[in-house]
Amino acid sequence: MTKIFRFETAHALHGYHGACRHVHGHSYQLHVTVRAEEPDSYFPAPGMLIDFKELKRMVNEAVVSRLDHTLVVSSAYLQANPDLPSEENVLVMTAEPSAENLLLFIRDALRHQLPAGITLAALKLFETADSYAEWVL
């Protein structure tokens, strides 16, 4: 099963020579897919792998609340740009916050949030309407 989330995040890529080296933002769309072992029959009552509301709560707490309306930069970017204002909505990563690395950050944040028997199967992070990074178990 898959649930889709949307959030607004700004980032900048240190060491990149194109326009993305500057602080800029995206309207991200995140697809979170979870799975369980295939049942022998139908899922028992209430017939769900996991309630969509519960998955939404977990992803919002572990990921969206940390990234939405946040500036994400690497420690290298911060070191090279010490004049960056110190704001409460700045998240500093050890890696560059590319779509690929944000996806791994999201994977790590979600892996331990899921109930027993349910695993993260795939993540897809759209940075623009036609560009995305994907992680599949």
Tell me the pLDDT tens digit for each residue of 16-55. 999 989 999 999 999 999 998 777 778 778 888 889 999 9
- What is the per-residue pLDDT for 119? 92
**In sequence order, which ranges of 2-130 are alpha helices (DSSP H)?**
52-59, 65-67, 75-80, 99-111
Task: Summarize pLDDT for 72-104 with one digit per residue, the tens.
Answer: 999 999 899 888 777 778 999 999 999 999 999
Q: Which residue has the tokens 């697809």?
A: 31
Taken in order of first residue, the domains within the chain and their CATH numbers are: 2-35+51-136 (3.30.479.10)
- What is the per-residue pLDDT for 45? 84
Q: Which burial class, exposed, middle or buried, applies to 32 when counting CB atoms under 10 A from its CB (0-12, 13-18, 19+)?
A: buried
The DSSP bridge pattern shows strands 2-11 and 118-128 to be unpaired
Full-model pTM? 0.90
- What is the per-residue pLDDT for 84? 78
